[in-house]
Amino acid sequence: MERTSGPAESNAFDWHAAGLTVGQVAQRMHISGSAVRFYEAQGLITSDRTGGNQRRYRGDVLCRVAMIRVSQRVGLSIAEIRDALAELPAGQPPGPDDWQRLSRRLKDDLQNRIGDLHRLLDELSTEVGADRRKSPPAGSRPQRAQRARIDDKSGWAGGPLSHP
């Protein structure tokens, strides 16, 4: 029996069930069937085919889809997710050591991204500060004239930006 029916786990299921259809994977992971097929087309998950050419997913599919969803939420690209999932054993449920290794890698990748974003913010702050030192004071004639020229070029002459 696949489902458990305890009071705390009325919607729990076997995370390592094999032979699931597209619809079963989609239902359990709260995604569309087209998302399941997209993940497969992108090489993130794999399936076997029945004699009638229907997809049947292996015991690792639900864990992989959960990791894909988390990875997408933090902004990883499909290629980055594919590379990360390639470190897991193919076609079998990953063990705790596999998840630890993958988790460490993803955390390192995210820390690097955060560092890059902080550097970009610092650069932006520096650039904005430099631009303010070069710009004439707000409300001066050159700035108003510049706004009017921009408005004229964009077809918004007399629009909100050309008002003093």
Q: Is 87:105 a contact under the CB 8 Å cutoff?
A: yes
Which has more confidence, 29 or 8? 29
Question: Given pLDDT bands bounded at 50, 70 and 90, which one contains residue 93?
Answer: confident
| Structural domains of the chain sorted by starting position, each given as residue range(s) with its CATH number in brackets | 22-154 (1.10.1660.10)
Q: Is the pLDDT of residue 21 over 90?
A: yes
pLDDT tens string 95-138: 888 888 888 888 888 899 899 999 999 998 887 766 666 655 55
Which has more confidence, 155 or 91? 91
Question: Given pLDDT bands bounded at 50, 70 and 90, which one contains residue 16?
Answer: confident
User: What DSSP string describes 95-126?
Assistant: -HHHHHHHHHHHHHHHHHHHHHHHHHHHHHHH
Q: Let me know if 147 is exposed, middle or buried by CB neighbors in 10 A (0-12, 13-18, 19+).
A: middle
Is the pTM value of this prediction over 0.85? no
pLDDT tens string 47-81: 999 889 999 998 789 989 998 998 898 888 999 99
Count the neighbouring beta carbons within 10 Å of the beta carbon of residue 65: 22
Range among 42-51, 83-92, 148-157 with highest mean pLDDT value: 42-51
> Rounded mean pLDDT of 131-151?
52
pLDDT score for 29: 94
User: What DSSP string describes the chain?
Assistant: ------STTTT---TT--SB-HHHHHHHHT--HHHHHHHHHTTSS-EEE-TT--EEE-TTHHHHHHHHHHHHHTT--HHHHHHHHTTSPTTS---HHHHHHHHHHHHHHHHHHHHHHHHHHHHHHHHHHHHHHHSPPTT-HHHHHHHHHHHHHHT-TTSGGG--
Q: How far apart are CA 130 and CA 150, in angstroms?
A: 22
User: In the beta sheet, which residues pair with residue 49?
Assistant: 55
**Strand ranges inside the chain, DSSP E:** 47-49, 55-57
